Amino acid sequence: MNVATVIYILTGMLGFGLLVGGVLVLFGAGWALLGGAASCFCVAGFVRKGLTGE
């Protein structure tokens, strides 16, 4: 596995973890967790786009 694939997997897992934490809290800091999850999913999307080379 190359470095970009590892970064893609880690950011996806981090985004999913933040999403789950944000939904469970959903009060105050939960919204920040949801924003962080969206950001991680965007990063994972850009890395995936770079991996596929489209």
Q: How many domains does the chain contain in total?
A: 1
Q: Across the chain, what does the average pLDDT equal?
A: 92
Across 11-24, average pLDDT: 95
Per-residue pLDDT at 51: 87
Per-residue pLDDT at 54: 63
- Cα separation, 23 vs 42, in Å, equals 18
Token pair in block for residue 47: 């890395």
Across 12-19, average pLDDT: 96
Q: Express each pLDDT in 31-43 by its tens digit.
A: 999 999 999 999 9
HEC string for the chain: CCHHHHHHHHHHHHHHHHHHHHHHHCCCHHHHHHHHHHHHHHHHHHHHHHHHCC
Percentage above 90 pLDDT, the chain: 81
Q: What range defines the domain where residue 46 resides?
A: 3-52
